[in-house]
Amino acid sequence: MSIDNPDITWETLTTLNAGLDFKLFNQTLSASVDVFRGSRTGILTASAIPGVLGQTLTVNAGEVESKGLEAALQYDRQIGPVRVSLYGNVTVTDDRIRAENGQDGLPEYQRTIGRVVGSRLVFLSNGIFQTQAEIDASPRQILSGKVVPGDIRYQDVGGVNGAPDGVIDNLDRVRINQSDLPKAYFGFGTVLAYKRLDLTVHFQGLRGRTLDVQGLVNAGPSALNDESLRRWTPANAATAQYPRLGISDRANNTAGSDFWLVSGNYLRLKNVELGVSLPTTLLGKYRLKNARLYMGGFNLISFDSLGLDVDPEIPGAGRGSSYPYVKTIYLGLRTSF
């Protein structure tokens, strides 16, 4: 006997697109650039009807505005015996929420409107408490029953009356434009050939992403894992990277905060391969038309600033039940008869 919403419909996607493809310098450089700007309106979102109705409704009331750029560049040239091919591509996007229900009564610093899709509502941290005196002199943190040295310190941002009130509660959470959705994806690489040798190198990466590593640091039985060694103890208080380890009443240190947000940017040598085509004089003996000997690898090197021994491409892997991308080294011979 639920009330339904007969007006419910598809969301509307509007996109304005401009593209340019061109080749220069005797067709050695080709490029393609595409810019877009668009909006999705009528996204399904919960209604803002009071709870006394006794049920919830879904309505077409959300709106997201997107703009972005896609570009690809390719350069091919023969320089004497060397054939050079270089390429790169990048996608940059910016998606912002323009309308969403349930935001009206929230303080401005907590609203999703105007912020990026996937923005986070977090406490702003300010290091780790070192002494009881520091705790006593700070706003009261009420996220867990007890707060002791070794716990994360938070900033007092707001309160019931809009101003900081000396209590760290949910009104001190701030919505920040940091999302685990990247702002930019890119890839680049080269293919080189010199006589019988050829070399392929491909990099990929992304930028403008933050990751919440709280779950990684607190993974394991009673939150015990390798990272526990870097947790706060009175002995290593000055250098500890993470708050004290607690087996219970630890909500203060597991609450969503920027303490746990780290850059999720990475650059990875996704593939490298060196090959040599064997001379036909050698092959004739074995009735082979051609053969290529090659060796290479996948995922050999990655650069990231997570500070954790995890795969930046699949950050959750290796802690739970999912596997990271494996590092592969291969050696092969391809022939045809």
Partner 1 sequence: MKKTNRLLLALAFAVALVACKKDYLDFDYTDGNIRDEADIWRSDRNTRGFLSNVYFGILNRYNLDGNGSMLAQASDEAVNSNLSSSINIFNNGTWGSLRTIDDQYTNMYNFLRRANIFLENSLGSNVTPASDIPKLRGEAFFLRALYHFELMKRYGPIVLATRSFTLDDQLDLPQNTLEQVVEQIAKDCDSAAVALSPSLGDLAAGDKGRATQTAALALKARTLLYAASPLNNPGGDATKWQKAADAAKVLIDLKKHSLLTQAQLPSLWNYGSQAYNAEVIFASQTDNNNTLERNNAPISYDGALGRTNPTQELVDAFDMRPNGKPITDPTSGYNPQAPYTDRDPRLAMFILVNNVTFKAKPVEAFEGGKDNVPINVNNTKTGYYLRKFLVEGAFWGVGTAINVRRPWVLFRYAEVLLNYAEALNEAQGPVADVYANVNLIRARVGMPALPAGLTKDQMRERIQRERQVELCFEDHRFFDVRRWKKGEALFNRPVTGMRVTRTGTTFSYARFQVENRVFTETMYRFPFPQTELIKAPKNLKQNPGW
Site for partner 1, rule CB under 8 A: 1, 3, 48-57, 102, 104-106, 142-145, 169-171, 247-251
- Closer to partner 1 by Cβ: residue 144 or 177: 144
C-beta of 82 vs 142, nearer to partner 1? 142
Buried b (16+ CB within 10 A) or exposed e, 233-267: eeeeeeebebbbbbeeebebbbbebbbbbbbbbbb
Least distance to partner 1 from the beta carbon of 111, Å?
11
Q: Which is nearer to partner 1, 62 or 315 (CB)?
A: 62
Shortest Å, Cβ 252 to partner 1: 10
> Considering beta carbons, is residue 81 or 105 the nearer one to partner 1?
105
- Residue 172: name the closest of 133, 212, 142, 202 by CA: 142
**Helix/strand/coil (H/E/C) assignment for every residue in 88-153:** EEEEEEEEEEEECCCCCCCCHHHCCCCCECCCEEEECEEEECCCHHHHHCCCEECCCCCCCCCCEE
**Do residues 278 and 291 lie in contact, with contact meaning Cβ atoms separated by under 8 Å?**
yes
Q: What is the CA angle 125-212-96, rounded to 5? A: 95
Query: Would you call 55 helix, strand, or coil by DSSP?
Result: coil
Write down the least CB distance from residue 42 to partner 1, Å. Answer: 18
State the minimum distance, in angstroms, from the CB of residue 224 to partner 1: 13
Phi-psi region of 25 (alpha: psi -120 to 50; beta: other; left: phi over 0): left
* H runs (alpha helix) in the chain: 132-136, 214-217, 251-254, 280-283
Q: Which is nearer to partner 1, 46 or 192 (CB)?
A: 46
46 close to 58: Cβ distance less than 8 angstroms:
yes
Contact (CB, 8 A) for 257 and 124: yes
Give residues with Cβ within 8 angstroms of 5, minimum separation 6. Answer: 47, 57, 58, 59
* Residue placing its CB nearer to partner 1 in the complex, 3 or 163: 3
* Smallest distance, partner 1 to C-beta of residue 250, A: 7
- Picking from 165, 131, 135, the residue whose alpha carbon sits closest to that of residue 147 is 135
**Least CB distance from residue 110 to partner 1, whole Å?**
10
Nearer to partner 1, 6 or 80 (CB): 6
The CB-of-152 to partner 1 minimum distance in angstroms stands at 16
CB of 145 to partner 1, least distance (A): 4
- CB closer to partner 1 out of 52 and 79: 52
